[in-house]
Amino acid sequence: MSRTPEFLPLSDDAVHAVTGPHGRHAALIEDAFRVLIETPGGGVTLTGDVKGRTGAKRALSDLAHRADAGQEVVEADVRIAVGEAQSTGGQASGRTVRKGAVSPKTKGQARYMEAMGSHPLSFGLGPAGTGKTFLAVAHGAGMLLRGEVDRLIVTRPAVEAGEKLGFLPGDLNEKVDPYMAPVWEALTDIMGADQLRRRREKLEIEVAPIAFMRGRTLAHAFVIVDEAQNCSRLQMKMVLTRLGEGSRMVVTGDPTQIDLLNPRDSGLAHAVSILEGVEGVSVSRFTAADVVRHPLVERIVKAYDADAAQSTPR
């Protein structure tokens, strides 16, 4: 790292905003761009290589603009500013994938990532294309790679709530893998095929249907419950109570896409209704504005939401 500092003049409000409570905002920027941020007065100094300083300056300038406009700067804003700076050529570190950095694209995604890092149990609710599963997989894979957990476990209802897998050919992995394709694609992007294979062979990464969680205590693991809207209430209670020492869990799903024969038996909405507000539990709700797939997907989601609103009895 170059030790030649570069000074960026900022207002006092901007310096306070980019530093953040206990230096948290500055630390996020330092980690993302591998720079050192100091506040000698009248602005900040950046020490690092040219690419890192360039990315950090982009993020700092965006945050300073918000602060000078009288807008509050919170951690979600910092994560978004970092992500935008990285996508325009700034150096990325930390959570990375083969195709680029895993960074939030919307405020909703930034708050979701922040919640996963600060709560033992997080719910991510919303339509397709909002990154619920991908960001959860990225967060869990990052914790595994950094040694913060021993295992990454992904589970979801396979086929249907009854878990009728017995008639499918092959062993457990062969039965379940077709239903886990989105998760495997995300893991391959994040970790690369070779490392994913090695981690899977060492049983550090496990995929199993909900039924196989029964009777287990999942200690020192990052657990993702995907497509949770198709869990029954009993299944949801069972999997939530599997959490053991040193573990975290993220539950993702779209309450509007329930495939159960009796939609009222869905355990996702029920769990959120009784657990929201409980200490240690976070609930992140995504909307069409958080869709990061093809722009048409956002318009499709909005059209279905509008139709559902018109069809709801008043």
For 149-296, where are the E strands, in sequence order? 151-156, 205-209, 221-225, 248-253, 281-285
Residue 248 near residue 121, CB atoms below 8 Å: yes
Q: pLDDT band at residue 170, thresholds of 50, 70 and 90?
A: low
How confident is the model over 245-279, as pLDDT tens digits? 999 999 999 998 888 888 888 999 999 999 999 99
Say if residue 217's pLDDT is above 70. yes
Instruction: Flag the least confident range among 13-17, 156-160, 185-189, 256-260.
Output: 156-160
The token pair that represents 91 in the structure block:
């150096």
> Of the ranges 27-31, 169-173, 282-286, which one carries the lowest mean pLDDT score?
169-173
Nearest 10 degrees: Cα torsion 76, 77, 81, 83: 20
Helix (H, G, I), strand (E, B) or coil at 22: helix
**Taking all residues of the chain, what is their mean pLDDT, rounded to a whole number?**
83
Kind of pairing, strands 43-47 and 6-9? antiparallel
Q: Looking at the chain, how many residues does it have?
A: 314
- Predicted confidence at residue 118, as pLDDT, reads 92
Beta-carbon count within 10 A of 143 CB: 19
Res. 98: pLDDT tops 50:
no
Enumerate domains of the chain plus CATH numbers: 6-87 (3.30.1370.10), 107-304 (3.40.50.300)
- Gyration radius (Cα) of the chain, Å: 21
- First vs last Cα of the chain: how many Å apart? 63
